[in-house]
Amino acid sequence: MLKVENISFSYTKTPVLKAISFEAKEGENLAIIGESGSGKSTLLNLLYGEFDVNEGSIFWKDTEILGPKYNLVVGYEFMKYVSQEFNLMPFITVAENIGKHLSNFFPEEKKARTAELLEVVELTEFANVKVKTLSGGQKQRVALARALAKEPEIILLDEPFSHIDNFQKQSLRRSVFKYLKNKNITCIVATHDREDVLGFADCMIVLNNNSIAVNDHPEVLYQNPKTPLIASFFGEFNVIKNKIIYAHQVKLTEKSNLKATVIQSYFKGHYFLIEANLEAEKVFFQHHSILEKNQTIYLKITA
């Protein structure tokens, strides 16, 4: 189990993280979300032992994760970190990068393991291509595979699919997270993307104001978002009569006490997002067709 107890950290005088505590069980997928600058990457760096905490402690099982003050070499065998900088070796091939830390004593096993990982990150046809010629997204996938090569007990992922195009993202995400679950590898993933969380994360931490605002199952947070920050992670929402209401929970109706005027319709694929004025407040809702500008409408809340 990963046990983070009451850690605090600052780069300068201003604290970045204050009194952070949480746990992650073996094989669990824990997502860390929060606005840009909220400290997600800093937290991952602390978990990895890249920096020394000012206060508190971090344990993986019985090993305390210590920073550079106590360790000549940063990092631990059982933990891998895929940061935003991939730190790959540009002049050797994709397969060589992945196999770099695998033993040469067992060439057949090394070959099979490399092939397995190439499949997980959907890069099989790039096995013999030099890394320097790859795109950003392809490099990100090599970095993921390399981190998995020696099968860590815990992996830290910072925006793991940020460079990957939408076309590949969905299947790659399923492939990587399924692999981690099957191997019972604990995964801590920092992300902006709700698609990295929904359907994959067992728990979700929201960082805000240097602290953990909430730590719960994504379903629980989705069903009952306590703050606009949490709701905004899941999608378009409104605050109507002091309640957070998602855009899909607002519907058109014949007559109601929620009288609004249409401002704009945005094509969103299988629906239109309608922007309207409701008692001088903006309201957003989903509708199957475009609505005429300035049209008077009545709304109901279906939540």
Ligand X SMILES: Nc1ncnc2c1ncn2[C@@H]1O[C@H](COP(=O)(O)OP(=O)(O)OP(=O)(O)O)[C@@H](O)[C@H]1O
Residues that bind ligand X (CB under 6 A): 11, 16, 34, 36-42
Q: Measured from the CB atom, is 143 or 262 closer to ligand X?
A: 143
Q: Measured from the CB atom, is 42 or 286 closer to ligand X?
A: 42
* Rounded-to-integer distance, Cα 209 and Cα 30, Å: 20
Least distance to ligand X, CB of residue 1, Å: 24
Residue 82, class by beta-carbon neighbours within 10 Å (0-12 exposed, 13-18 middle, 19+ buried)?
buried
Least distance to ligand X, CB of residue 84, Å: 7
* Rounded-to-integer distance, Cα 47 and Cα 52, Å: 10
Least distance to ligand X, CB of residue 180, Å: 21
Q: Measured from the CB atom, is 41 or 114 closer to ligand X?
A: 41
Least distance to ligand X, CB of residue 21, Å: 18
Least distance to ligand X, CB of residue 261, Å: 37
Nearest C-alpha neighbor of 129 from the set 142, 120, 119, 144: 142
Least distance to ligand X, CB of residue 73, Å: 20
CB 181 within 8 A of CB 199: no
CB 194 within 8 A of CB 233: yes
Q: Measured from the CB atom, is 209 or 224 closer to ligand X?
A: 209
Least distance to ligand X, CB of residue 159, Å: 7
CB 64 within 8 A of CB 4: no
Which amino acid would we find at residue 249? Q
| Sequential DSSP letters for 178-214 | HHHHHTT-EEEEE-S-GGGTTTT-SEEEEEETTEEEE
Name the phi and psi angles at 156, rounded to 5. -110, 125
Least distance to ligand X, CB of residue 257, Å: 41
* Rounded-to-integer distance, Cα 186 and Cα 80, Å: 11
Q: Measured from the CB atom, is 88 or 207 closer to ligand X?
A: 207
* Rounded-to-integer distance, Cα 179 and Cα 173, Å: 10
The pair of structure tokens assigned to 186 is 């604990």
Q: Measured from the CB atom, is 24 or 47 closer to ligand X?
A: 47
Q: Measured from the CB atom, is 138 or 210 closer to ligand X?
A: 210
Q: Measured from the CB atom, is 37 or 136 closer to ligand X?
A: 37
Nearest C-alpha neighbor of 175 from the set 134, 122, 97, 130: 122
